[in-house]
Amino acid sequence: MAIRERAFRFAGADGADIAGFRWTDDTVTPHAVLQVAHGMGEHARRYLEPLAPLIAAGWAVYADDHRGHGLTAPTPEHLGDFGENGAELVVEDLRRLASLARAEHPDLPLILLGHSLGSFFAQALVFDHSRAIDGLVLSGTAAFGDRTGPVRRLDEVALDGETPRTPFDWLSRDPAEVDAYIADPLCGFSRKETAAGSFGRVASRLKDPAEIAKIRKDLPIYIFVGDKDPINQDLALLKPLVDRYRAAGLTDLTVKIYPGGRHEMLNETNRAEVVADLTAWLERVAG
């Protein structure tokens, strides 16, 4: 395996300078494209290691650092700052990156994988652009904006009946992965309130039946989550999302739930199983 990274920049709809990445294996010819939309408080390069088996199997992987994240944030002080219309602009950034990937691989299927906050952006993208991709994968996802009652601090969530060792134990049962996240200077921050209105507008779209009805009915969708992921609140916030997709008549919906799994299933103790399941679904859709 000889993975090569190509880092590049591309312009967002408002002219913002967005950091992008492309990973391929020099020893194989790509037969499909996977685009990754990362989560809140992290960055694209965290996906290179867990997705290395896919790259070695002939998938070209594209990803970007969202606004206020990774190499797109101009300074450390800008981490978490999406800007005034940030949520809507990130969705457009994802569409633009998909177009770039299509231009470089015009004859290959392209599947979008969104994790956590990236999954919410991906959910929004397919309202208007479901024909621009060949499949959608949602990881660590839920029905965004459906939470009721007081917000629980994630660093205080008791998992497996134990007091958390760190504020980020909810990410994974693997202490090494949690420690690597904590040690990464481009991880662990929260969203600034500059884009609160924009996030509210996107959240309202995500639960609008009229918006969901715009998704093409035959779009393959794969949802995979852990049942101990506090983001989905013991799966209570997963059910509305799945129910809405089924009510909209989507005909190719697969849901995989991993017992005991926390938020980052690609970095969990059973990551080999998770990646193998993901690969099997991706290869089926890629044909």
Asked whether residue 191 is assigned to any structural domain, the reply reads: no
How deeply is 210 buried, as exposed, middle or buried, from its count of CB atoms within 10 A (0-12, 13-18, 19+)?
A: exposed
DSSP state of 185: T
Asked whether residue 39 is assigned to any structural domain, the reply reads: yes
The pLDDT, as a whole number, for residue 74 is 96
Q: Is 229 a catalytic residue?
A: yes
Report how far residue 4's alpha carbon sits from residue 54's, in angstroms, rounded to the nearest whole number.
13
Asked whether residue 197 is assigned to any structural domain, the reply reads: no
- Whether the predicted pLDDT of 148 surpasses 90: no
Complete DSSP assignment for 203-217 = HHHHT-HHHHTTS-T
Q: Which residues, 6 or more positions from 180, have their beta carbon under 8 angstroms from its beta carbon?
A: none
Q: Is 198 a catalytic residue?
A: no
pTM (two decimals)? 0.96
- Whether the predicted pLDDT of 32 surpasses 80: yes
How many domains does one find in the chain? 1
The pLDDT, as a whole number, for residue 163 is 82
Asked whether residue 26 is assigned to any structural domain, the reply reads: yes
Report how far residue 131's alpha carbon sits from residue 121's, in angstroms, rounded to the nearest whole number.
16
Q: Is 17 a catalytic residue?
A: no
Report how far residue 71's alpha carbon sits from residue 78's, in angstroms, rounded to the nearest whole number.
11
Which residue range forms the structural domain that includes residue 98?
Answer: 3-145+204-286
Asked whether residue 170 is assigned to any structural domain, the reply reads: no
The pLDDT, as a whole number, for residue 250 is 98
- pLDDT bin (cut points 50, 70, 90) of residue 156 is low
pLDDT digits 0-9 by tens, 185-205:
999 999 999 999 999 999 999
Residue for token digits 């997963």? 238
pLDDT digits 0-9 by tens, 227-242:
999 999 999 999 999 9
User: Within a 10 A sphere around the Cβ of 221, how many other Cβ atoms?
Assistant: 23
Asked whether residue 49 is assigned to any structural domain, the reply reads: yes
User: For the domain that residue 76 is a member of, what is the CATH number?
Assistant: 3.40.50.1820
pLDDT digits 0-9 by tens, 239-282:
999 999 999 999 999 999 999 999 999 999 999 999 999 999 99
The pLDDT, as a whole number, for residue 48 is 98
Provide the greatest CA pair distance for the chain. 52
- pLDDT bin (cut points 50, 70, 90) of residue 123 is very high
Mean pLDDT in the chain? 95
Burial pattern 223-244, b for ≥16 Cβ within 10 A else e, equals: bbbbebbbbbbebebbebbbeb
pLDDT digits 0-9 by tens, 101-110:
999 999 999 9
- pLDDT bin (cut points 50, 70, 90) of residue 161 is confident
Asked whether residue 211 is assigned to any structural domain, the reply reads: yes
* Phi, psi for 247 (deg, rounded to 5): -65, -30
Asked whether residue 187 is assigned to any structural domain, the reply reads: no
The one catalytic residue in 116, 119, 130, 139 is 116
- Whether the predicted pLDDT of 224 surpasses 90: yes
Amino acid at 28: V
pLDDT digits 0-9 by tens, 52-74:
999 999 999 999 999 999 999 99
The pLDDT, as a whole number, for residue 236 is 94
- Whether the predicted pLDDT of 151 surpasses 80: no
- Whether the predicted pLDDT of 160 surpasses 80: no
- Whether the predicted pLDDT of 149 surpasses 60: no
